[in-house]
Each structure stands twice: as structure tokens, then as C-alpha cells.
Amino acid sequence: MSSLKLLSELEKMKKISLLLLALVLISCHSNVKKEDLAKLNGYWEIKQVQLANGETKDYKINETIDYFEVKDNAGFRQKVMPQFDGKYKTNDIKETIKIIAKDNSYFIEYKTKFGKWQEEIIELADSTLVLKNKDKLQYQYKRFTPFSLK
């Protein structure tokens, strides 16, 4: 193969690689819209965590669930424990949260007296919530369905 033909093939491969990279970046971009943010309110149960290396850890049963309450892009998240009578127990510790729009994505900024951190909202629908932290851990939640033995 001549060196000119080889260079031409390398240029084609480079263009294809750049196109594929652009497609991957676009497909990974958040598709959450401002009007979806109200869906964050309520009870969410962790379903799965995807590690940065792609491995996953499934959660079949959860003793605690996350309760989000947000109004005008501010509110709190609190861990609660569902009880058999349909009520919830809590330790009364609330994480203050703010919803922040940045680079066509939405982030939840958490703040406690111990620290401050952010998670990107990757997906938010009626029954699905996916959050991603700075370590690239991706938390997949499902809407919690309360139970009662009453």
C-alpha cells in the first residue's frame, strides 16, 4: 500500500472515530427538561448502581428510601424508612438541595453541615430517576410504591 493511500485511510478512520465520539457524547447528554423537575418530588427507591467501570450492583430490598421535596428549585432530601402501617420513620436529618442548570443539564446540589456535592440528573420521568456523581457512579431509582398491612 502506498504511503499516500495509507494516509488517506488513516484520515478516514480519524473522521469516523471523531464522528463516533460525537455521537457517544450526544447520546450521553441529559434529556431532562425544566418541566420534568417537578417529578423529582416524592419517594424514590434505589434499584441499581452502575460503577464507573460498567459493573452494576442491584438492590432487591431497601430498608431506607429517599424522599425529595423541591419547590422553586430548592428543597431537601431525606432518608426515610417505610413502616408496615404505611407511615415513615426518619432520623430528621435533611440534606438541603438546590436544582442548578448548567451546560444544558440539571444538577442537584446537596449541602449539609458536613459537606457539599452535586449529582447530575441523567433521567427523570414519572417512575424513573437516574443520578450521576462526580465519580461517575450512576444511581438508578424507581418510584417507591407504598405498602400497608392495614
In a shared domain, residues 71 and 47: yes
Q: What is the pLDDT of residues 21-43, one digit of tens each?
A: 444 444 444 589 999 999 999 99
Q: Label the pairing between strands 65-71 and 42-50.
A: antiparallel
What's the confidence (pLDDT) of residue 13? 64
8 A C-beta contact, residue 54 and residue 76: no
In a shared domain, residues 14 and 53: no
The C-alpha cell of 53 is what?
Answer: 467501570
Q: What is the pLDDT of residues 91-134, one digit of tens each?
A: 888 999 999 999 999 999 999 999 999 999 999 999 999 999 99
In a shared domain, residues 74 and 116: yes
Q: Label the pairing between strands 56-58 and 65-71.
A: unpaired
CB under 8 Å to 80, separation ≥6 — which residues? 43, 64, 65, 66, 67, 88, 89, 90
Give me the CATH number covering residue 92.
2.40.128.280
In a shared domain, residues 52 and 8: no
Q: Give me the torsion for CA of 130, 133, 135, 140, rounded to 10°.
A: -20
